[in-house]
């Protein structure tokens, strides 16, 4: 399955993204590039919908952590929503579900 990042909208300093497919070593650079471009354009709050993400490895996790750290340095954050199945499990096991305030039931950040 291919990976894609859909830039849903930007409202001031908040960017909403939707990820689909598999986020891994071969695709994480694409996510990093989008997040870097948005940060350079002034976004420092990111709401990332994982509803259509089917797989996430450690490289994907690192991309989330990197983006959250970068956003936090500018007074912002990265929040994850909508993860299910294996992706939800990875977020739980790594502790990122709590750190990035993931809420799989409502699809909204806590």
Percent of the chain residues topping a pLDDT of 70: 90
* pTM (predicted TM-score): 0.87
- Asked, for residue 22, whether it belongs to a domain, the answer is yes
- Asked, for residue 105, whether it belongs to a domain, the answer is no
Question: Crossing angle, helix 58-73 and helix 28-40, to 10 degrees?
Answer: 10
What is the count of structural domains for the chain?
A: 1
- Asked, for residue 104, whether it belongs to a domain, the answer is no
SS3 16: strand
- Asked, for residue 106, whether it belongs to a domain, the answer is no
Nearest to 60 by CA among 92, 99, 19, 8: 19
Domain containing 89 equals 4-76+85-99
Q: Looking at the DSSP assignment, which residues form a beta bridge with residue 81?
A: 49, 103
Q: What is the pLDDT of residues 78-105, one digit of tens each?
A: 999 999 999 999 999 999 888 888 555 4
Contact of 3 with 21, CB cutoff 8 Å: yes
């Amino acid at each position: 399955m291919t990976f894609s990042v859909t830039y849903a909208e930007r409202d001031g300093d908040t960017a909403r993204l939707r990820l689909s497919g598999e986020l891994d070593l071969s695709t994480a650079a694409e996510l990093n590039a989008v997040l870097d471009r948005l940060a350079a354009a002034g976004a420092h709050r990111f709401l990332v919908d994982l509803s259509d993400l089917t797989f996430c490895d450690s490289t994907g996790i690192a991309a989330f952590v990197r983006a959250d750290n970068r956003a936090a340095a500018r007074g912002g954050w990265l929040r994850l929503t909508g993860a299910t199945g294996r992706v939800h499990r990875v977020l739980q096991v790594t502790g990122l579900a709590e750190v990035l305030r993931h809420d799989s039931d409502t699809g909204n950040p806590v």
